[in-house]
Chains A and B, each alone.
Chain A
Amino acid sequence: MPDTGKAAAFTTVPPISLRRRVTNYVMTGASVGAVIVVMLPLFAIFAYLILKGIGSINLAFLTQIPKPVGESGGGMANAIVGSAFILALASILGVPIGVGAGIYVAEYGRNRFGDVIRFTADVLNGVPSIVIGIVAYSLVVLYQKHFSALAGGVALAIMMIPTITRTTEDMLLLVPQALREAAYGLGVPRWRTTLSIVLRTATSGVITGIMLAFARVAGETAPLLFTAFGNQFWNLHANQPTAALPLQIFNYAISPYDEWHQQAWAGALVLIILIVSAVSAVRYAVRRGTFGAA
């Protein structure tokens, strides 16, 4: 109780009452307690992932396709490749549109119409992923009459676009106006200024935004359930059902077989490692290429 000593010295200041002091300690303790309670599941999740996952990862897991129930062994190679395939489709569709929309909003959209696009992107960002799955289903699957990797790619692309748009806009707005003016002063046309000066200056930030969107959709399961659907075999045709790592984890986790549970843990570990390494590889490459603004 250091306060009482001080209070005695300055007689005009009344001592802080016991009730207030106790409240102070209790609430401080409560905040620290909250941090501990939040940290526990985080550590638990990572600990279980690593402990249970590492035990089940082996060469077969990374190179073989699933075996039928009852046979031991097998792996998720087709799901890993399938995920990469669907994500590549999603990026091809989503990244140009997202970056383009970001450029429009940042460079031409400082008006009411730009606000509308900005708000729409925010709304799209909050749409539940399962609803996006329904839309991709009715847009692609119903026309193709069967599930396909393309439908999964469309669903994930729709989820990537708003994030990329907003981060691209934020990053382009950080580029000082003087740079644009310098380019105009040299006679560089506006489109060229945007692409070669503004976008290039903001490259590392824009790519960070893209990776953020990528990491977000890479683990998505819900929109793939009735678009990419899953597949027990190899498939690299855009118009055929394709296995995906999150789908495979889900199916194995809710199955009654112990062996599949093991594989689900291994799959989860591989998924997280792949996401983290993809993101950090690109960020590292960008940082070496240009300066690390983000």
Chain B
Amino acid sequence: MNLHKRLACRRMANSAPLRPEMLSPQPVENNQTTGPAAVASPIPDSAGSGEFADSIFKFLMLLCGLSVLGTLGLIVYELVLRSGASWHAFGFKFFVGHDWDPVSDQFGALPFIYGTLVSSFLALVIAVPLSIGVAVFTTEMCPRKLRGPLSFFVELLAAIPSVVYGLWAIFVLVPILSNYVEPFLGKTLGWSGFFDGPPYGISMLAAGIILAIMIIPIISSITREVLAVVPQHQREAALALGATRWEMIRVGVLRNARAGIMGGIILGLGRALGETMAVTMVIGNRPDIAKSLFAPGYTMASVLANEFSEATGDLYLSSLIEIGLALFLVTIVVNALARVLVWTVTGSQPTRANA
């Protein structure tokens, strides 16, 4: 058991006796009766019926537990089964082909894989330094009074539905990008080829930025949890050796927490890879591989959102489901990796990870 839970347990144990109704035999008067024997005599002599009810209850709960396993099994089964046609038609070439032509039944997923990877990577590049900055500020520098509201506000960002992010991105972010940011980047960094072309706003860059805004709460809240479990004496030791505050943070705090921070980053990546609505609304939805971030792109999740309900033909549908299967496998690997990393540091699952 980790520290959090132990402390919480102690808190619970202390407060529990304050509720007399829990300790009194009142619950026995509830309307759910075990059977006449349990009510009639103070000492239940029909151990058999109690055991029977117990085993039924355990069985029911087991069914619920099994249905969690079953759901995952069902997801894998359905995805594998229904992507079979596409796998037979294209084999591994599906993932390296870059033609996406429903009319002539030619399907290659490379533009979508590229779009997912680039937009998520871009989001990480923007979000990681900002999230770590926010986490460091809240745990190490912030006046105590500000700490609560600050984490509350950052977590509020996580509660906004992604379609609302998309709405905001279309009408606020994209115009700002096309009027100010993209022309500026084009002028100053256009030579690199990454910021080239007409500044329409709807672009890979817009998708990366909105994804970054969406994953900052995840990365920063996990980083904050991880920084909080770094032992205080590490900080004191660094300060005693004459470190400045930043040196203390770098040597005493960040270095100790790096595995957990890495876990938070990867968890953010997992979210970014699977994020659908906001990206679909601003990325432009064109299955091209372009070097410039100003060009429109397409992601695996977006193509599912846009084309799945209109897919005609079995091979088309099957190809889309194969993209879904690929997305599923990638996010599972990424999430499992992240959890292992976070577990090694905090000893439990980060509670707000997917909130």
Q: Which residues of B contact A206 (CB under 8 A)?
A: none
Provide the bound-state CA to CA distance between A45 and B158, in Å. 12
- Give residues of chain A (14-35) contacting chain B, Cβ–Cβ below 8 Å: 16, 20-21, 23-24, 27-28, 30-35
Kindly state whether residue A103 has any CB partner on chain B within 8 Å: yes
Q: Given A49-B168, A189-B38, A272-B161, 8 more contacts at CB 8 Å?
A: A37-B130, A127-B75, A130-B304, A135-B78, A189-B44, A189-B54, A191-B57, A253-B167
Does A61 belong to the interface (CB within 8 Å)?
no
Q: Tell me, rounded to whole Å, the shortest Cβ–Cβ distance linking B306 to chain A.
A: 9
Number of interface residues of B (CB under 8 A): 110
What's the dominant secondary structure at chain A's contact region? helix
- Please report the C-alpha to C-alpha distance between residue A222 and residue B304 in the assembled complex, in whole angstroms: 9
User: Contacts A123-B72, A166-B349, A197-B22: A103 and B61 contacting too (C-beta < 8 A)?
Assistant: yes
Which residues of chain A from 172 to 230 have any CB-CB distance to chain B below 8 Å in the complex? 173-176, 178-179, 182-183, 186-192, 194-197, 200-201, 212, 215-216, 218-222, 225-226, 229
In the complex the two chains form, is A41's CB within 8 Å of B213's CB?
yes
How far, in angstroms, from A107 to B38 measured CA to CA in the complex? 22
Question: Shortest Cβ distance from A56 into chain B, in angstroms?
Answer: 12
Q: Is there contact, CB below 8 Å, between A219 and B67?
A: no
User: What are 18 A-B residue pairs whose CB atoms fall within 8 Å in the complex?
Assistant: A32-B141, A38-B130, A42-B154, A97-B67, A126-B267, A128-B331, A130-B274, A131-B79, A134-B320, A138-B82, A158-B71, A161-B67, A174-B12, A191-B53, A225-B309, A249-B167, A293-B12, A293-B15
Check A20 against B32 for contact (C-beta < 8 Å): no
Q: How far is the CB of A275 from chain B (nearest CB, A)?
A: 8
Residues of A contacting B181 in the complex (Cβ-Cβ under 8 angstroms): none
Interface pair B79/A135, CB less than 8 Å apart:
yes
Find out whether the CB atom of A21 lies under 8 angstroms from the CB atom of B244.
yes
Show the binding face of B for A, using Cβ within 8 Å: 5, 8-9, 12-13, 15-16, 18-19, 22-23, 25, 27-28, 30, 32, 34, 38, 42-44, 50, 53-54, 56-58, 60-65, 67-69, 71-72, 74-75, 78-79, 82, 129-134, 136-138, 141, 150, 153-154, 156-157, 159-168, 170-172, 213, 216, 220, 242, 244-247, 249-250, 267, 270, 273-277, 281, 301, 304-305, 308-309, 320-321, 324, 327-328, 331-332, 334-336, 339, 349, 351, 353-355
Q: Which partner residue on chain B sits nearest A268 by CB separation?
A: B164
Name the CB-closest residue of A to B308. A226
Closest 3 CB pairs of A and B: A219-B161, A34-B133, A128-B274
